[in-house]
Structure 1
Amino acid sequence: MGTYIIVGASHGIGEATATKLIGAGHRVINIARSENPACENHVWDAASEDSLPTIEGPIAGIVYSPGSIVLKPFHRLTQADFQSDFQINVLGAVKVIQTYLPNLKQNGGGSIVMYSTVAVQTGMGFHASIASSKGAIEGLTRSLAAELSSLHIRVNAIAPSLTNTPLAAALLNSPEKIEASGKRHPLGRVGESKDIANLTYFLLDPENSWITGQIIGVDGGMGSLKPA
């Protein structure tokens, strides 16, 4: 069984992924602002300049799940909005990967999973800031996948549509909003944490070791289908 680092295993997709890994007998280290009682926990905030904790020994995989949802008309977005989104979504991921890359090397390879958004591929109004930072994640994913392939380290990203997590609480805080958002998806519902966690687990599993450099949509068809 392996050891996995999940940045953000205390809520949402990260928590659902941790539950699957722990259920399969793996050790999960949660690095987040709050604890997951099922994991080994270290406190860290992706929006801060704080150093990451030192983790000893080989790591089989890293999941970087912090995110942000700042939806505003472009003319109302400030430089601070763009900087905050970039810090949380991109620079935090860079810092985590650079810090724990030696642990992946000790393992003789492994898997890194990050998260983009359907709004990168599919232009959506009011998404300029978040789509910009998540677009950078897609570029980072492909670049690292190429650079780290000789080390047998795989790098992939998942691009969800709206998913029912604490991060999206303001957008899905009533049955009416959930129903209306669901109707915008070809499959007729919004995503759940387990929908994304299932693919995350698949990408982490060494059995699926011939997949790298991919941006995979888990979006209820939003990014590629136009319902009849």
Structure 2
Amino acid sequence: MNRENVLVIGGAAGIGKQIVLDFAGRGKKVAVADINKKALDQLINESGRPNDIFSFEVDVSNWESVQNMMTKVKETLNSIDIFVYSAGITKQVSFLNIDWASWKKTIAVNLHGLFFSTKAVLPLMKNKNGGSIIIIGSGSAITGSGGGIHYAASKGGAFGFMRSLVGELGKEGININVIAPRVIESDMLDRLYPSEGSKNTLKKEIPIGRLGKPSDISNLTNFLSNEESAYIHGQIIIADGGRTFRPKSG
């Protein structure tokens, strides 16, 4: 069965934006939701696909906002075949210096938002014959890096969230997996590593010798969303050019 309707949350910039553009380029109807209205408008204008991409403003940390957004998505597309959760925030800060507001906001967007969004979208997927949920996580949940403990903890929570749904969603014919990127060219990477020198240091740690591109993640997302990958379920797939488990000398 064809999977035609897509919802990407956190799709106005970075990896999420590339995922939206790639799905639309493959002939899908794509609902994209984000808190940044200006970036959403810019995405629609840049894409040149106003009949294929539909934008919705949402605060994923707020249950009522997510519900209202999903009502509008249902009115526009009726049902969802592929759901991608790509919303995420981080900030470079040490454990001793992190405050409660930063911890709470990061968990609210990266983890509560995932819960709210999945809870709200499932009724639009269960009336279909199968589907796919892809969570854009992070290798930071494995390494403890990525800006701070708040980010790593929130992404680790996404791992557990996904694995807890494997049995329940499998019975519905819905696959769920996590993609765990590391060091992808994006606004977030620029904030964490603002200088060329810091980026060059990162490149030296990556066996394939380059930073990741948003298209590296969108290509993997597309694969996990189609029926050829239907036997891949409940997995965490690291996309990092070999950095996390690179061989070390000495």
The normalised TM-score by structure 2 is 0.85
2:11–2:87 Cα contact (<8 Å) kept: no
Partner of residue 138 from structure 2, selected from 117, 140, 159: 117
1:4–1:28 Cα contact (<8 Å) kept: yes
User: Residue 197 of structure 1: SS of its match in structure 2?
Assistant: helix
2:147–2:192 Cα contact (<8 Å) kept: no
1:5–1:63 Cα contact (<8 Å) kept: yes
1:160–1:196 Cα contact (<8 Å) kept: yes
Q: What's the offset of the Cα at 1:49?
A: 5.0
Per-residue CA deviation, residues 146-187 of structure 1 (Å, 9 max, x unaligned), is 221100011100111121112222234343332222122222
Q: What's the offset of the Cα at 1:48?
A: 4.2
Aligned-partner residue type, residue 51 of structure 1: S
1:210 pairs with 2:231? yes
Partner residue, 2:32: 30
- Number of aligned residue pairs: 228
1:3 pairs with 2:5? yes
Partner residue, 2:54: 40
Per-residue CA deviation, residues 12-71 of structure 1 (Å, 9 max, x unaligned), is 111111121111111000111231314101111224454222122221110010111222
1:116–1:137 Cα contact (<8 Å) kept: yes
Structure-1 separation of matches of 2:155 and 2:27: 32
User: Residue 101 of structure 1: SS of its match in structure 2?
Assistant: helix
Q: What's the offset of the Cα at 1:227?
A: 4.5
Partner residue, 1:87: 108
Partner of residue 92 from structure 2, selected from 71, 77, 81: 71
2:162–2:177 Cα contact (<8 Å) kept: yes
Q: Give the % identical residues.
A: 29
Aligned-partner residue type, residue 136 of structure 1: G
Structure-1 separation of matches of 2:146 and 2:110: 19
Q: What's the offset of the Cα at 1:125?
A: 8.4
The normalised TM-score by structure 1 is 0.93
Aligned-partner residue type, residue 9 of structure 1: G
* Structure 2 residues not aligned, in runs of 5+: none
* Structure 1 residues not aligned, in runs of 5+: none
Partner of residue 155 from structure 2, selected from 116, 121, 134: 134
Q: What's the offset of the Cα at 1:85?
A: 1.3
Q: What's the offset of the Cα at 1:126?
A: 5.6
1:73–1:125 Cα contact (<8 Å) kept: no
Q: What's the offset of the Cα at 1:83?
A: 1.3
User: Residue 42 of structure 1: SS of its match in structure 2?
Assistant: strand
Structure-2 separation of matches of 1:84 and 1:66: 13
- Aligned Cα RMSD in Å? 1.8
1:67–1:167 Cα contact (<8 Å) kept: no
1:191–1:220 Cα contact (<8 Å) kept: yes
1:58–1:105 Cα contact (<8 Å) kept: no
User: Residue 181 of structure 1: SS of its match in structure 2?
Assistant: helix
1:171–1:177 Cα contact (<8 Å) kept: no
Partner residue, 2:184: 163
Partner residue, 1:14: 16
